[in-house]
Amino acid sequence: MKNMCLFLAATMAIMSASWSGADEFSKYQQILPRGQIAAVTKPHYVTAKRAVIAGDSYVLGIVVEGQARAYSLNLLNNHEVVNDQIGDLPFAAVW
Amino acid sequence: MYDRRYDGKVLTFEASGGLIKSSLVLQDRETDSYWPIMSGKSIHGELAGTSMKEMTVNRKMTWSDWVSMHPETLVLSVNSIEDQADTYSHYFSSKRGFRNSRAKDRRLKTKTPIFAFRLKGKPYAVPYYEIVGGKQFNIGNRVAYFYRSPDQGLHDSTLAYIADADAACLVEESIIKSGECAAPLTGFDTFWYNWSLNNASTALLD
């Protein structure tokens, strides 16, 4: 009986969690076809000396394992996501 | 910034092309799960219910500030372009939200800039105007410290740190800048409507 109660409680908890997500997803609105905003999946980089970027332009800067990288916010606006990796750490740059 | 490792997979994120409550929704190519960034949890697909892993390694600032701090930095280049025209300047200067969205929670105006974060799953927000020059708040047994300088632009990141309330250190700007005592606090620099529409029970620090 105790096991049955636990099973029912667990099932109800899972259903509740699923419902919450389903409820949230019902508010999702597709605006553009998926893929129309092209994420960057194989990022390329230049050095600071070679970069053509205005001093007052904004960047998202990161430092991982001592390596610094900068992503122009204006480029991020166009691509939304940069899928990147430094060392063993894969990460997504989003702002 | 988000870690891309979930459930033993390395995910490739992209814009889903859709929104939830005016906020960006990502989708990953490996599981097709949907990830609204403002609620920070997948809501549909194989990884539904999984929380996004936010990282504290990023900071937004002008290029001149960044390169003076990190002259060895590499710069993202897409099709040999490192920067381009700002196509969102009208949005950022407008009093209206994206697609005319408005905050339902009227404690702040729709486009009030805020720093927002979660602590033990509970959402919090502090408006920029409260933290110019630095301010700390006690939250339970923790103390959170926020700093914006008077001359910072809208896109400059808020400095945010968290420490135990009984930590033997002062939580103030000089300590924060030295990186001692407190840990960086992950969060969003965003607008009130964007955060509050997706985090209805937000506690406002003011």
Q: Summarize pLDDT for B1-54 with one digit per residue, the tens.
A: 999 999 999 999 999 999 998 899 999 999 999 999 998 999 999 999 999 999
Chain A contact for B3 (CB, 8 A cutoff): yes
Find the CB nearest B76 among A36, A43, A64.
Answer: A43
Which pLDDT tens digit goes with each residue over B56-114? 888 999 999 999 999 999 999 999 999 999 888 899 989 999 888 999 999 999 999 99
Query: Is there a domain that residue B107 lies in?
Result: yes
Of the three residues B38, B55, B72, the one that is the final residue of a domain is B55
Q: Which residue has the higher pLDDT, B195 or A11?
A: B195
Query: Is there a domain that residue B81 lies in?
Result: no
Q: Does one domain contain both B39 and B113?
A: no
- Alpha-carbon torsion, ordered B191, B195, B196, B201, to 10 deg: -140
Q: Does one domain contain both B114 and B199?
A: yes
What does chain B come to in residues? 206
pLDDT at A19: 42
Query: Is there a domain that residue B2 lies in?
Result: yes
| Mean pLDDT score, B172-188 | 70
Cβ–Cβ < 8 Å for B74, A47: yes
Task: Provide the pLDDT confidence category of residue B206 given band limits of 50, 70 and 90.
Answer: confident
Chain A contact for B47 (CB, 8 A cutoff): no
Beta-carbon separation of B63 and A29 below 8 A = no
Neighbours of B144 (CB within 10 A): 24
Tell me the percentage of chain A whose pLDDT exceeds 70.
77
Residues of A in contact with B75 (CB under 8 A): 45-48, 50-51, 53, 59, 69-72
Which pLDDT tens digit goes with each residue over B129-166? 999 998 989 999 898 989 999 999 999 999 998 888 77
Q: Indicate the number of domains in chain B.
A: 2
Residue B20's Cβ-side half-sphere holds a number of Cα atoms within 13 Å equal to 28
Find the CB nearest B64 among A43, A55, A78.
Answer: A55
Task: Provide the pLDDT confidence category of residue B174 given band limits of 50, 70 and 90.
Answer: low
CB contacts < 8 A (A, B) = 218
Q: Does one domain contain both B125 and B182?
A: yes
Burial (CB < 10 A; 0-12, 13-18, 19+), residue A78, is middle
Domain range for B121 is 102-204
Distance between B34 CA and the closest CA of chain A, angstroms: 9
pLDDT at A8: 39
Residues of B in contact with A93 (CB under 8 A): 1, 58
Tell me the percentage of chain A whose pLDDT exceeds 90.
73
Residues of B in contact with A29 (CB under 8 A): 18-20
Which pLDDT tens digit goes with each residue over A27-62? 999 999 998 999 999 999 999 999 999 999 999 999
The answer on pLDDT for B171 being more than 60 is no
From the list B43, B68, B50, B64, the residue with the least C-alpha distance to B8 is B50
Q: Does one domain contain both B42 and B109?
A: no
Beta-carbon separation of A40 and B39 below 8 A = no
Query: Is there a domain that residue B67 lies in?
Result: no
| Mean pLDDT score, B173-185 | 66
pLDDT at B18: 96
Query: Is there a domain that residue B8 lies in?
Result: yes
Work out the mean pLDDT of chain A and round it to a whole number: 83
Query: Is there a domain that residue B90 lies in?
Result: no
The answer on pLDDT for A16 being more than 50 is no
The pair of three-digit structure tokens given for residue B64, joined into one six-digit string: 């001149």
